[in-house]
Structure 1
């Protein structure tokens, strides 16, 4: 329906453009018919005032044509930006849903056995959900806020598990740059989901984030059980790659490395 309406709207404009384009041809044909010459020069023999008026007329037509063309270009890029923004919002809404579901399942089991721990878990989960909903909708957030969110995620996992996990998080932030929210959490989440959750002992997760010289470097390292079948990474990494393409085109790099039972990821942002 919208396409048909747009076509109907352009019909009169196209007809007017065709008529205007035929004006010089009609004038030339008229000159040929009313004179005995085999050929004529456009506007030859006309009073200078008429020549000036006709030339001004074409100048106005050219200006209007240029303005119309510029308007179409602006509309095209505006539509493209709106589409990208809409896609970005959709991608953001997909971040972390299964993590929250798993935590809620843990809460269900804790409510009847350890009320205090369940309460602490609810408060921590509430802080994380608040950040995901309100800060996650923003175009940019401070790097410090993102790092705090990662720390909350780690603390929440420590409360969830009943096993010892070796977790190290090194942070060297010389400049508190602004970055797109909920980027690093996907890589951290994968480290827990595909590593820690499948190991009964000896699990570790090492993280590092550095920010200086308009560049942010985030690295993760975790061990996993190589005897288990490889799991599908799901929408998480696809989501991350697409968001990086939309917001940091040609200004990012994302790489992964697997060596026996160790998995590493590296994300670099050029700001």
Structure 2
């Protein structure tokens, strides 16, 4: 029994080495979290190969219970038996992929075992499939809200899997064989499955921590670079931004350009990549011209005209505003092996945020030059506290839920992008306005889960036009003023219905209502209240009047059970 245990321990080492190499693969770690039909097929193929290897590397046991060790067991006598790690592979497949994957992998292992040993081994086809299905079902029940069961539960399931297998072996091959193989195979299956899941959990945990660190770094960079990028893309601001990026990352050099010239270059190669001079590398020129990310893993791909340039790998990402390339963010290494997927994702994330920051700066400058009083007042309503509250919320989420934090970043990006677009247009589509509102309410819901419910009842085309920030102002007004300290059951309803050649837009809530003495002045004049001034409503009312006439003014109706605000707008837009 001890000799059999040692021989099986060697086989376990082979399987665990293969498992370790497999878990190191990012593609494998990605598919095991999907549980889709596609991922199940891939997992069946992967573990199917593993279960065949487990059969081929088993230890043959003769009818006299002598042990025969061969490098590869392609076939055995019908009177002999086989001790192997097949059940370990089936158990691992069941826990990773679920009962269907476990059953099919078990079926593959059983069929291959039948091919090895002939008709006397046919019962393995049924027993292995049953083991896969039962362990998969049990694993799904035990894991609860977690991705996998605990280590103790996995060890117990490993024991159960061998017990099921031993019952079949005892019935069809004899209980003497069970006495010989029960302890070593049960122990190895239990320990092996536990080790495999521990390796897998460790890698997944490390990957999540890495994402959290990356997101935190991006947030820190966002806070530090925001004041400079809002000044626009110039040599002074670019220099500060590049220095900040380099101090927070492992890149050997960081550069920023406009469409023609280098604005700043900090780090290796700064003696010839000089601010104010034309962009030198073909890699950067291609990124700007094509508006697409360019990656180089050698000096030849970067194609710097200076032969002494130390830069050996690079990623160049175009900076865009409204789909128009205005420059490029460049990250360099002096070692070709340092540029990995991690650095690529970090650089692309920074470029997206920087594009948004630059857009904020450009929009602000255009607002000043436009001398448009209504738009100026409206832009002033974008509360800086909202931005920093959102950033703080995302930072807090990084400790608990990385995916929620990433979703929040996208919502914040959508909110400011649509804010910028609205600041440059007199009318936008209902679809754009809804996107803006959804991003805003999504961020508020992250800060205050279950506090607000936003519902739409739309009976017009989403291509109809309305003034930018129309719904945003009314929804935000409800969020800030309608519910006081009430933490739940706060409903905001947006209703849009057609009326001949116009449509009615109404935003209602079930809040505390508006004071009767204030109601007549809403949208008409400033109101001295501790919770707000009413500037946004006055501004919106003025824009409605200028664009569509007095017929489209805001109307207010309020009581202790809630408030309704509506306006009647002409139907405009393409394909409405």
Of residues 241, 246, 255, the one that matches 2:555 is 255
* Contact 1:124/1:156 (<8 A) preserved: yes
SS at match of 1:243: helix
1:244 counterpart residue number: 544
Alignment of 1:63-102 (within 5 A): 86-97=372-383, 98-102=385-389
TM-score between both structures, scaled by the size of structure 1: 0.59
Of residues 397, 407, 411, the one that matches 1:124 is 411
Distance 1:138 1:226, change over 3 A: closer
> Cα deviations across residues 150-206 of structure 1 (Å, max 9, x unaligned)?
333333333332235443211111473222211221001111111356312222112
SS at match of 1:205: strand
1:167 aligns with 2:467: no
Distance 1:197 1:240, change over 3 A: same
SS at match of 2:424: coil
* Contact 1:254/1:266 (<8 A) preserved: yes
**Counterparts of 2:547 and 2:483 in 1: how far apart (Å)?**
31
2:488 counterpart residue number: 201
Distance 1:264 1:248, change over 3 A: same
* Contact 1:205/1:223 (<8 A) preserved: yes
2:497 counterpart residue number: 210
1:182 aligns with 2:182: no
**Paired residue total:** 189
The alpha-carbon deviation at position 208 of structure 1 amounts to: 0.7
* Contact 2:514/2:559 (<8 A) preserved: no
**Counterparts of 1:87 and 1:225 in 2: how far apart (Å)?**
32
Displaced runs of 4+ in structure 1, greater than 6 A? 226-230
**Counterparts of 1:175 and 1:163 in 2: how far apart (Å)?**
27
1:133 counterpart residue number: 420
* Contact 2:554/2:566 (<8 A) preserved: yes
RMSD: 3.1
* Contact 1:88/1:243 (<8 A) preserved: yes
The alpha-carbon deviation at position 259 of structure 1 amounts to: 1.2
Alignment of 1:11-160 (within 5 A): 86-97=372-383, 98-160=385-447
**Counterparts of 1:92 and 1:227 in 2: how far apart (Å)?**
22
> Cα deviations across residues 202-237 of structure 1 (Å, max 9, x unaligned)?
221122122453323111221234799983344221
The alpha-carbon deviation at position 148 of structure 1 amounts to: 3.0
SS at match of 1:198: coil
* Contact 2:511/2:560 (<8 A) preserved: no
**Counterparts of 2:377 and 2:509 in 1: how far apart (Å)?**
26
SS at match of 1:119: helix
TM-score between both structures, scaled by the size of structure 2: 0.30
**Counterparts of 1:117 and 1:175 in 2: how far apart (Å)?**
28
1:267 aligns with 2:553: no
* Contact 1:206/1:220 (<8 A) preserved: yes
The alpha-carbon deviation at position 263 of structure 1 amounts to: 1.6
The alpha-carbon deviation at position 121 of structure 1 amounts to: 0.6
**Counterparts of 1:227 and 1:240 in 2: how far apart (Å)?**
18
> Cα deviations across residues 89-129 of structure 1 (Å, max 9, x unaligned)?
31232243254343234234334443332221111110111
Give unpaired runs (5+ residues) of structure 1.
1-82
**Counterparts of 2:379 and 2:496 in 1: how far apart (Å)?**
24
Distance 1:135 1:164, change over 3 A: closer
